[in-house]
Structure 1
Amino acid sequence: MHTNRLSLEKSPYLLQHAHNPVDWFPWGPEAFEKARKEDKPIFLSIGYSTCHWCHVMERESFENEEIAAIMNKYFVSIKVDREERPDVDRIYMAYVQATTGGGGWPMSVWLTPDLKPFVGGTYFPPENRYGRAGFPSLLERIAEAWRSERPKILESSEDVLAQLRKQAEVAPAKAGSGLALDKAALESGFLIFRRSFDSKLGGFGGEPKFPRPVTHNFLLRYHARTKNREALDMVLLTLREMAKGGMNDQLGGGFHRYSVDNRWFVPHFEKMLYDQAQLAISYLEAFQITHDATYSTVARRILDYVLRDMLDRDGGFYSAEDADSVIDPAKPKEKGEGAFYVFTQAEIGDPVFEYRYGVEKDGNVANDPHHEFTGKNILFEARSLEETAWKFEKTEAEVRAAIAVTSARLMTMRSKRVRPHLDDKVLTAWNGLMISAFAKGGAILDEPRYAAAARRAADFILSKMYDPKTGILLRRYRQGEAAIPGFLDDYAFFSQGLLDLYEAQFDTRNLDAALGLTEKQIELFEDKASGAFFSSGAGDSSLVMRLKEDYDGAEPSGNSVALLNLLRLAQITDRKDLRETADRALAAFAPRIMSAPVGVPQMLVAWEYSLSKPKQIILVGEKSAERTGEMLSLLNERFVPNRIVLLIENAETRAKLANWLPVIETMSQIGGTTTAYVCENYSCKLPTSDPRKFAELLQ
């Protein structure tokens, strides 16, 4: 068996390649020095451990002795886990997208020994097919070009890099450009989303359909600002249709990565932590607005799935579960897409369940080009409980009980199958998103398990991945090792999680940590000259450029989240420097916000917040007091996006908070019971200890 340097790494993705015949190196000085010393180009392969086509390219090419021999002869080959090193991934993805018009993973890029890209692509088959060049012939051609056309390659790589740096510049618009920030960007963003909305099946655009919760975040806040019912309805329909589909794990909870069709039916079965976190919040906010238990039920199922299957024993959350899984335990190397999740009709054996979830004798996937689901069924809500009850002449309660019995039996059956690969690294950024979801879930659903999970995960990050002496946050934890200095996403997403945790549970240590991390983030990443934040810190000579990421895609951008954090903290602390930092970032991104709002929906959320007069809700009373609980319940059952919430529980918290907001010194209880102060724009309404009056002040 071959063993290469990746065997010494902690990344599950790199370890998957540790026994390839390819002489892989991790990203680092040893590989760079070898390339320079031997005057060889670098082959850079970027992916992640639950990436389907990464597995395919490994099986076809990287496990092939002949192809590996070509790679080892002509190139220094480097593997990067994009989830560990998003900075490296973003730089070379920008190159691949600019030069090919597309992108994805596995990403394949050839670099000069100085790490400048000159050829790029994604998946390459082992021979010419799918309209793509075969990988071995491509390797030979690139090696020959490196020998015979070196000056041309070097010149080209310099030119492309210069263009990329120019395109990546983020700075305030010039006077008279028409791109100064204007609230018209909110209307423009709404109109663009409306044009692409699927009014029948929900979602935006055609197949494949990806969940993009940042879009929900913007549209719900646009609705709150304008009372435009259409913005709300777009989100609600999308959430309902997604929940019905096979993209929602109907047995175990949680959402798969995306749907290959337009009706959310056939998913790509991978499950990502960041999807669970953001979608849970979308469903929680929909529940706050509608008080419809349909949405809270889905949120609970997501959070319960994460607690059951994605929780590290010390409290952190794992990253992902693979789409592929073993079909037959007797043949462990043969895997199929979604094999863990699908059933034959014979395995189910319950006509009521089968009717409800669209099960058919010969399988229910008609469009199956790769014959992965022959005779199998993807569970989806084909019919409502009401329709099912009518069909079988039962009450809805009887149908619900019968389905619960069958669901439990199928979950037991499924648990005996070989589980998909689990990427068990803990990433600070994604844990920050999940902490927000559990903090909000605990408060909105009044569920102590969720509240405890949020606290425990925050304590995990602060105790194992943060150095209080230096203020440095680390990116990744696995098997007892924390490593890789954190990126903007890590600081921003975790700070957001701590702010949400404070506003749900009122431990001022979380507020202190969020403020300290935000100050460190400004020190490490802010562009003091032009505004906004670089995704990576200064001083890493292996990065050929620093980017200011702004695209809000499957995950929000670090800049969008950092912006909202700054605005919230400025409200809490009344610190002008934080507001000024936020304003500089907004000015820097103004051209992007005004010209392409659809690309930055989470930044639109921050812009909308900055335009508003956020409510400062200050409660004076013990956290455990019954009246405090009543008032918090009234607050948590409402969607009040633009607000901060503070609790004055004792002399210590009063002194701390009054240090930021001196008016707090004068706030006291009425009649010896918890009292609420609701302020806007440095003006407070009359305080009240009456829950009904408090509810009126929240309108």
Structure 2
Amino acid sequence: WTYDEIKRHLGKETLEDGTALDEVFAYHYDVKKSGNVDPQKDPHDELKHQNVLIIRGSLEQTAAKFGLSDDTVREGLKKGLDILYRVRQQRPRPHLDDKMVTSWNGLMISAFARAAQVLERSQEVYEKAAVRAAMFVKEHLYSELDNTLLRSGYRDGERVVHVGHPVPGFLDDYAFLIQGLLDVYELTFDSSWLAWAEKLQDKQNELFWDGERCCFYETSDHDASILLRIADAQDGAEPSGNSMSVRSLLRLTQFLHRDDFKQQAEKLLACFGQRLAKVPMALPAMSTGLLLYRHSFQEVCIVGQKQDQLTQEFLKLLRGEAYMPNRTIVLVDGDTEGNMLYQRNPVLPSMKVPGRVFVCQDFVCQKPVASVEELRSCLQQTMPPPLSSSTSTSS
């Protein structure tokens, strides 16, 4: 906004004691005749003589400056903002980038699923958001015909369209979505999400795995226009696909008893072992994967239905005060046909008594417990020891 625009749109307005609204507004939001944008931060003079509304002091300070009550200033500022909002609505809107990126949706699905597990008051809202987003990706950004992901889709009104030649998914799209699906499984205990995650992991291995270097490329070798395939594990604003894959491979190993996935995770860690040892700060996501690998996973099997009160009490403990990142939770619900885990985990069929919880480490289970207090005591006794400072990262 220019100073003259603020005067033109607010100059005729006054507060209840007659004070000019434009003066109070300009003071509170740092509006200046010459503009309030630092020229050094505007190298192309796009905001020369313009003002970006910014609050540099408190409402109480503004009230004291003009000798007004806090409520009077608060109401006046709201009135000014409402007027300017209506003016802004008449301006040409900026272009909207409303594409839907598979990898970003994967990260968001994880966030929703994890939030639903720990925020009781908003659990239903976040659970619905996580499941809807996962279903959206499966419907619009996934081809069941060849089990592949697309990089993105675009919005056309209420439809999702793919412009020109759809871009195949990159490593990040697979890695981020797989982790999101694993989080959705541990939230809903619907094993169909786990089955899809496994299918995508197998496809990711097929498309991106470099058997010689033992790491994932960012792109597949199906595009002849790509001259150089890159494999990286730099965790910046977003984690890298290689780093995320370490965690997912280890979790899938625990859920599905697939030792090949664990071996792949070991090879990934070894591939980036020197960088992990020298600059672990550059690989925070992979460092957490390394910790999961060194501690090994704890598996907790709850026998019963998800909606049972005792099951919910067990879950509240596991997701709250007794939370551990290197733990997987499995619901043994008796659905031997619909729950794929019965075909993968040979121990589950023997867990038949509802209301019992089995705590397992390295695929060896302790005696079952039948109450929240017993489970709490059992978990305290099985807490993993801290890693020694002398532990070799590259071993």
TM-score by length of 2: 0.74
Q: Give the equivalent residue in structure 1 for 2:54.
A: 378
What's the secondary structure of 1:436's corresponding residue?
helix
In 2, are the aligned partners of 1:561 and 1:603 still within 8 Å (CA)?
A: yes
Give the corresponding residue for 2:148: 472
Is contact 1:618–1:647 with CA below 8 Å preserved after alignment? yes
The alpha-carbon deviation at position 529 of structure 1 amounts to 2.0
**Deviation sequence 1:465-489 (CA, Å, 0-9, x none):** 2122311111111133342111111
Identity, % of aligned pairs? 33
Question: Which residue among 627, 635, 647 is the counterpart of 2:310?
Answer: 627
Please list the CA deviations of residues 413-445 of structure 1 after superposition, one character each: whole Å capped at 9, or x if unmatched: 658646654311111111100111111122221
SS state of the match for residue 623, structure 1? Answer: coil
Partner residue of 2:108 out of 431, 434, 454: 434
Amino acid corresponding to residue 624 of structure 1 in structure 2 = Q
- Aligned counterpart, 1:586: 269
Counterpart code for 1:439: A
- The whole-number CA distance in structure 2 between the counterparts of 1:610 and 1:502 is 21
Counterpart CA distance in 2 for 1:694 and 1:420 is: 55
Compute the displacement of 1:648 (Å).
Answer: 1.6
Pairwise CA distance, 1:412: 9.7
CA distance in 2, matches of 1:367, 1:693: 62
Residues 492-513 of structure 1, C-alpha deviation per residue, up to 9 Å, x if partnerless?
Answer: 1111110111111111111000
Q: Secondary structure at the match of 1:645?
A: strand
Distance 1:422 1:677, change over 3 A: farther
**Native 8 Å contact 2:37 2:52 kept in 1:** no
Return closer, same or farther for 1:686/1:527 CA change in 2, 3 Å cut-off: same
Render the CA deviation track for 1:65-94: whole Å, top value 9, x for unaligned: xxxxxxxxxxxxxxxxxxxxxxxxxxxxxx
Report the counterpart of residue 553 of structure 1 in structure 2: 236
Work out the CA distance in 2 between the residues paired with 1:473 and 1:453: 20
Greater gyration radius:
2
Specify the alignment match of 2:343 in structure 1. Answer: 659
Q: CA deviation at 1:406?
A: 7.9
Aligned equivalent of 1:648, options 332, 336, 340: 332
The amino acid of 1:547's aligned partner reads I
Hey, what does 2:291 align to over in structure 1? 608
Relative distance call for 1:359 and 1:510 in structure 2 (3 A) is: same
Shift of 1:693: 3.0
Cα deviation, 1:182-236, whole Å, max 9, x if unaligned, reads xxxxxxxxxxxxxxxxxxxxxxxxxxxxxxxxxxxxxxxxxxxxxxxxxxxxxxx
Tell me: CA distance 1:498–1:361, structure 2 relative to 1, closer, same or farther (3 Å): same
Q: Counterparts of 2:350 and 2:292 in 1: how far apart (Å)?
A: 27
Q: Which runs of 5+ in 1 are unaligned?
A: 1-326, 332-344, 393-398
Q: Any residues of structure 2 matched to 1:64-103 within 5 Å, and which?
A: none
Higher relative contact order, chain-length normalized (CA < 8 Å, sep 6+): 1
2:200 to 514, 517, 536: 517
Residue from 439, 460, 481 that aligns with 2:161: 481
| CA distance in structure 2 between the aligned counterparts of 1:466 and 1:509, rounded to whole angstroms | 15
Compared with structure 1, are the counterparts of its residues 375 and 476 closer, same or farther at alpha carbon in structure 2 (3 Å cutoff)?
closer
The superposition leaves residues 219-258 of structure 1 with CA deviations (integer Å, 9 ceiling, x where unpaired) of xxxxxxxxxxxxxxxxxxxxxxxxxxxxxxxxxxxxxxxx
1:378-413 CA-to-partner distances (Å, cap 9, x unmatched) read 358x77xxx97xx99xxxxxx9xx989988995896
Structure 1 residues 376, 546: CA separation in 2 closer, same or farther (over 3 Å shift)?
closer
What is the CA distance between 1:366 and its match in structure 2? 8.0
Match of 1:536 in 2: 219
- Equivalent of 1:668, from 352, 360, 370? 352
Query: Counterpart amino acid of 1:594?
Result: A
| CA RMSD between the two structures | 3.7
Aligned 8 A contact 1:438 1:450 in 2: yes
CA 1:374–1:643 in structure 2 vs 1: closer, same or farther (change >3 Å)? same
How many correspondences in the alignment? 338
Look up the equivalent residue of 1:641 and give its one-letter code. Answer: P
Cα offset, 1:375, TM superposition: 5.0
Shift of 1:694: 2.6
Cα distance between partner residues in 2 of 1:408 and 1:580: 63
Q: Give secondary structure in 1 for the equivalent of 2:222.
A: coil
Question: Which residue in 2 is equivalent to 1:691?
Answer: 372
After superposition, residues 313-392 of structure 1 pair within 5 angstroms as 360=30, 367=38, 369=40, 370=42, 372=47, 375-379=51-55
Report matched runs for 1:181-580 at 5 Å. 360=30, 367=38, 369=40, 370=42, 372=47, 375-379=51-55, 414=85, 417=89, 420-446=94-120, 447=122, 448-478=124-154, 479=156, 480-482=160-162, 483-580=166-263
Most deviating of 678-687 and 472-481: 678-687
- CA–CA separation in structure 2 for the residues paired with 1:412 and 1:652: 63
Secondary structure at the counterpart of residue 377 of structure 1: coil
Amino acid in the other structure paired with 1:662: P
The 1:545/1:691 distance shift into structure 2, 3 A limit, reads same
Check conservation: 1:495, 1:518, Cα contact below 8 A: yes
Q: 1:658 to 1:523 in 2, by over 3 A?
A: same
Quote the Cα distance in structure 1 between the aligned partners of 2:216 and 2:135.
26
From the superposition, tell whether residues 602 and 409 of structure 1 become closer, same or farther in structure 2 (CA, over 3 Å).
Answer: farther
Contact 2:174 2:200 in 1 (8 A): yes
**SS of residue paired to 1:651:** coil
Contact 1:635–1:698 (CA<8 Å) still a contact in 2?
no
Quick check: 1:654–1:665 contact (8 Å CA) kept in 2? Answer: no
Residue 454 to residue 675, structure 1, CA distance change in 2 (3 Å): same
In 2, the alpha carbon distance for the partners of 1:581 and 1:377 equals: 52
TM-superposed deviation, 1:346: 5.2
| Distance change >3 Å, CA 611–CA 558, structure 1 → 2 | same
SS of structure 1 residue aligned to 2:234:
coil
Gap change, CA 1:678 and 1:492, over 3 Å in 2: same
Give the letter aligned to residue 319 of structure 2: N
Note closer, same or farther for the CA distance 1:606–1:408 as it changes in structure 2 (3 Å cut). Answer: farther
Instruction: Answer whether contact 2:182 2:193 (CA < 8 A) is retained.
Output: yes
C-alpha spacing 1:503/1:408, structure 2 compared with 1 (3 Å):
farther
SS of match in other structure, 2:230? coil
* Distance of aligned partners of 1:359 and 1:507 in 2 relative to their CA distance in 1, 3 Å threshold: same
Q: How does 1:122-137 map to 2 (within 5 A)?
A: none
The alignment partner of 2:352 has SS state of coil
CA separation in 1, counterparts of 2:145 and 2:357? Answer: 37
Counterpart of 2:307 in structure 1: which amino acid?
S
Distance 1:524 1:365, change over 3 A: same
Distance 1:445 1:543, change over 3 A: same
Using the TM superposition, give the Cα deviation of residue 687 of structure 1 relative to its aligned residue in structure 2, in angstroms.
2.2
Q: TM-score, normalised by structure 1?
A: 0.43
